Structures are given as structure tokens and as C-alpha cells.
Structure 1
Amino acid sequence: MLYLCLKYIHVIAAIFLFGFGMGSYLYLIAASRTANPQVIAHVARTVVRFDTWITTPAGFIQIVTGYLLTRLAGLPLTTEWIMTSLIIFLCVGALWLPVLVFQKRLYVMASSAAGDGHTLEDRYSTVYRKWFWMGVLGFLGMFVIVLIMVTKMTPQQWVERLLV
């Protein structure tokens, strides 16, 4: 029963990672396309809060529950599909921290412009592009991790199966 409870929490945490993460990502993209500093500031503030208080803790819950699930199942962390998903998860996590910093910068720049009644500075689009592409890479990694977790196969094993 403990295994099933942990698995449930693990799946719910994955849903939160995707749901809140993707929602925040898409809302900030939509807000940025308006080029309206007030809209961007409002959305960016909410995105920073959600990612700090919901999405990030969900990532830590994933780590803890995933580790406990491997222990209960008697699987070593060196199991190929587990090791592959962990490596990708660490890479996604390495992207996540700068993403949070960039989101905060976007919020500060938009808030400053809105408060001063100015348009966004050119620097906003530079930071936005970095944030956007890190998000694309991060979500691609998350999609691959979920596929690994569901199939218990590495990307190399998928390709080998497809070619047979």
C-alpha cells in the first residue's frame, strides 16, 4: 500500500510540474506578446509565485518519491531507464534555476516600465528569448522523462524497437 501511495503522490507531482509549469509558461508568452508592461508585470508576478511555491516543490517531491519508489521496488538507481531519467531530470533542473531568475527579471523590467509609464526596454526581449528557449528545452526533457517512466525504456531502446 505504501508503494501505491507514493506512486500516486509521484504522479500528482508530475501533473503539477507539467500543469503549473506549462500554464505559467504559456501565460507569460501570451502576456509578453501584448508588449503591455502592466499586463506582463501582473502575469509575471503570478508566474513567479506559482513556480516558486507550487512547481518547484513538486520537483522536489518528484525526487523524494522517485527515490523511495526505487527503494521499495528493489531497483538500483543504476537501472538504465532510471539513470537516464535522472540525468535528464538533472539537466532540466539545471535549466529551471536560470528560468526562475529570468522570470523574475522579466517581472522587474515590466513592473519598472509600467510604473514609469514607459514601454519595455530592448533588454526585455533578450531576456525573454533566453527564458523562452530554456523553457522549450526543459519541457522537451520533461516529455522524454514521462515517456521513459511510462515505458521503462530509454530513448535508445525506443529507436532500436522502431527500427526492428
Structure 2
Amino acid sequence: MLYALLKTIHLLGVVLLVGNAVVTLIWKLAADRTRNPQLIAFAQRLVTLADWWFTVGGVVLLMLGGYGAAAVAHLDLWRLDWLLWGQVLLVLSGALWLGILVPVQVQQGRQARSFAAGGPIPARYWQAGRRWTVWGILATLLLAVAIALMVFKPV
């Protein structure tokens, strides 16, 4: 029963983390396509808020549930390849998020606040947006591979 509860918490964390990554990408791309400074600034703010609530919250649930379930099931986190590589991919995705995506989001958020009042959208906003999109897709793909490893548990 405890294992099932912890696994459920783990899966809820996965849904929040990956779901938010996909949804915020769609929100941001859709808002950027409008070229409306006010709408872009609003979407940029929501992307940042959603990341704090859902990405961070998802990671916390994912780790609590995953490590808790592994402990209850007496799984060796370092000897089972699928668990080891799942953790490596999560860390790599997190490194991209913390090292690239968050700084770009902060930069774009500041820019959006400055043009929200109706000013022009600077070229560096669009350059940062392309960078955020490319690295965000890569970070999300790493999570998708980690999910596949957890499901298929290759030997």
C-alpha cells in the first residue's frame, strides 16, 4: 500500500513536471506569434509563475515519491541501469533548466515588463526566445527518455 501511494506521488510529479514543460512552451510560442507586447508580457509572467508552482512542485513530488518508492521496494538506485540513467537524465534536464532556461526566462521577463506598456519588442527578446525554445525542447526530450526508461526498465 505504501509503495503504491509513493509511486502515485511520483507519477503525479512526472505529470506536473512534464505537463508544465509542454504547456508553457505552447503558451509562450502562441503568445509570441501574436507579436502583441501586452499579451507576450502576460504570457511570460504566467510561464514563470507556472514554472515555480508546477515545475518545482513536480520535481519535489517526483523525487519524494520516486526515492520513497525505491526505498520501500529495496531497489538499488545505482545498480539498476534504468534507475541510474533515469536519474542522470533528470539531473541533465534540471541542469539545462537551471543553467539556461531560468536565466533566459528572467531576462525575457524583464524585457517583457519594459515593453508591456506598449514599447517595441527588442530583437534580443526574440533571440532569447529561440534559445529558450531549443533548450526547453531538449530538456523535455531528456525527461521523455527518462519516462521511457522507467516504463520499459531495460536490462
Above 0.5 in TM-score? yes
Task: Quote the Cα distance in structure 2 between the aligned partners of 1:12 and 1:64.
Answer: 11
Structure 1: distance between partners of 2:135 and 2:144: 14
Larger Rg: 1
RMSD between aligned residues: 1.3
Q: What's the offset of the Cα at 1:101?
A: 2.4
C-alpha distance in 2, partners of 1:82/1:119?
A: 48
Q: Mapping of 1:153-164 within 5 angstroms?
A: 153=154
Q: Deviations over 1:110-149 (max 9, x none)?
A: 221122x221111111211111111110111111011111
Instruction: State how 1:11-160 maps to structure 2 within 5 Å.
Output: 11-78=11-78, 79-97=80-98, 98-115=100-117, 117-153=118-154
Deviation of the 1:17 alpha carbon: 1.0
Distance 2:74 2:92 in 1: 25
- TM-score, normalised to structure 1's length? 0.88
How many residues of Structure 1 are paired with residues of Structure 2 in the alignment? Answer: 153
Q: Offset of 1:57 from its aligned partner? A: 1.8
Greater than 2 Å deviation, 4+ residue runs: none
Distance 1:89 1:19 in 2: 15
Stretches of structure 2 that go unaligned for 5 or more consecutive residues are none
Counterpart amino acid of 1:6?
L
Query: 1:20: how far off?
Result: 1.9
Inter-partner Cα distance in structure 2 for 1:105 and 1:36: 18
* Counterpart Cα distance in 2 of 1:37 and 1:108: 13
Q: TM-score, normalised by structure 2?
A: 0.93
Contact between 1:28 and 1:40, CA under 8 Å: does it hold in 2? yes
Q: Residues of 1 paired with 2:49 and 2:30: CA distance?
A: 17
